[in-house]
Amino acid sequence: MTVALIGIALFLLVLLLVFEKRENTAGKLFTKTPLSVLFVAAAWLQPDPGQAYAQWMLMGFVLCLIGDICLVYSSRNKLFLSGLAAFLCGHVFYVIAFYSITDISVWTWGALGVLVVVSVVVFSWLRPFLGNMVGPVIAYILVISLMVSGAASLFGDPSANAVGRWLVFIGAISFFLSDLFVARQQFVRDAYVNRSVGLPLYYLGQFMLAFSIAYI
């Protein structure tokens, strides 16, 4: 089942990138939606989907699915803001999921220290282009930084399964990096490279987080 999911996801991702290149909105919608449904399905199909970690993650995945649909129409500011809000709430559920099975530790504070520096650099880069989106972007940066620091907390927890820890940590970092390309696309420069790099990073992150349910 996992191999089939990955195979279908890769096929849809290639199609999505083709439609992104052609700027075909209908094609993007009809490939991105099922592709995002697949990471929700991947999470649901993992062993023991009833555990608290899985339930919180599933709620986060569903919100990210909603965000993905909104971002297909990211040129419309209201839908972009709706997508941003959906992703922000999704990250909140991820944070709750991580801390449902681990605790704040030196890894948390170490990650937050790095993320504060990175976030200041990213915000300074974006600030001239944000206009009236300063508040929402600051809120999003704060929440995704908490999400990555939560993943770092879990990564540094020796009581957690090693495979699960790596899946969560790399998945969270991939998600964070993908959002840099979303921000560049939305606020700085419309360029295909933003999607051709950002989308694979995003889906890599989401599927790794989904598959972590089997190990956490």
The HSE-up count of residue 193 (CA atoms within 13 Å, CB side) is: 4
Question: 121 Cβ partners below 8 Å, 6+ apart?
Answer: none
pLDDT digits (tens, 9 = 90+) for 37-83: 999 999 999 987 669 999 999 999 999 999 999 999 876 678 899 99
Calculate the CA 152 to chain-centre distance.
15
Rounded mean pLDDT, 184-210: 97
- Domain count along the chain: 1
The HSE-up count of residue 35 (CA atoms within 13 Å, CB side) is: 26
Which helix (H) or strand (E) segment is 182 a member of?
helix 162-183
Q: Which domain holds residue 31?
A: 2-214
pLDDT digits (tens, 9 = 90+) for 114-162: 999 999 999 999 999 999 999 999 999 999 999 999 999 999 999 999 9
pLDDT for the residue numbered 123: 98
pLDDT for the residue numbered 55: 96
pLDDT for the residue numbered 49: 67
